Structure 1
């Protein structure tokens, strides 16, 4: 079972996570998102040690169609987006996709 958290984003976005002890990260400067973000995401998805990938929600717009589809359907690692207009349906949907049930469902 994968136990690491990976963070992808601008150096400003990843710094807080790194200070909190996250060791897996990919810094992608804003001016290089178009060229490097797909590669960073694919690398993190292929890392067997990573169980959760954290990204800024606005960065999803910079992913190619194939990488975005892969991210949106990935169960392990699961992608969690913070901030921005997260296109994956919010945190509740991300948790439901990751564990297979809706913890907030009403009876």
Structure 2
């Protein structure tokens, strides 16, 4: 079972996670996102130790269509995006629902 968290994004985005103890961080500078982000995501998806991938929601738009579909459809590792304004990825509740298959906030 995969247990590591991996963070992909700009150095500003990954720094806080590094300080919190996340060891697998891929820095993709803002001026290199279009060139390097696909490669960083594909490499992380292939890492069997990774169970959760954290990215900034805005960075999804820099991914090629195929890689975006791969990472958004992945069950393990599961993608969690941060920084969304409530649109786009559907929010954290929808991400959790997709990842585990049930809505934890569902009312009876």
TM-score range, shorter chain: over 0.9
**Is 1:55 matched up with 2:32?**
no
Q: Report what 1:97 is aligned to.
A: 98
Cα distance in 1 for partners of 2:104, 2:73 equals 19
**1:52 aligned counterpart, secondary structure:** strand
Cα distance in 1 for partners of 2:59, 2:5 equals 18
Deviation at 1:14, TM superposition (A): 0.4
Cα distance in 1 for partners of 2:10, 2:84 equals 14
Q: Which runs of 5+ in 1 are unaligned?
A: none
Cα distance in 2 for partners of 1:25, 1:80 equals 14
Q: Report what 1:81 is aligned to.
A: 81
**TM-score, with length taken from structure 2:** 0.95
Q: Report what 2:7 is aligned to.
A: 7
**2:26 aligned counterpart, secondary structure:** strand
Q: Report what 1:42 is aligned to.
A: 42
How many residue pairs align between the two structures? 107
Cα distance in 1 for partners of 2:10, 2:93 equals 25
Cα deviation 1:21-77 (Å, max 9, x = unaligned): 100010000000000000001111110000000000000010110011111111110
**TM-score, with length taken from structure 1:** 0.95
Q: Which runs of 5+ in 2 are unaligned?
A: none
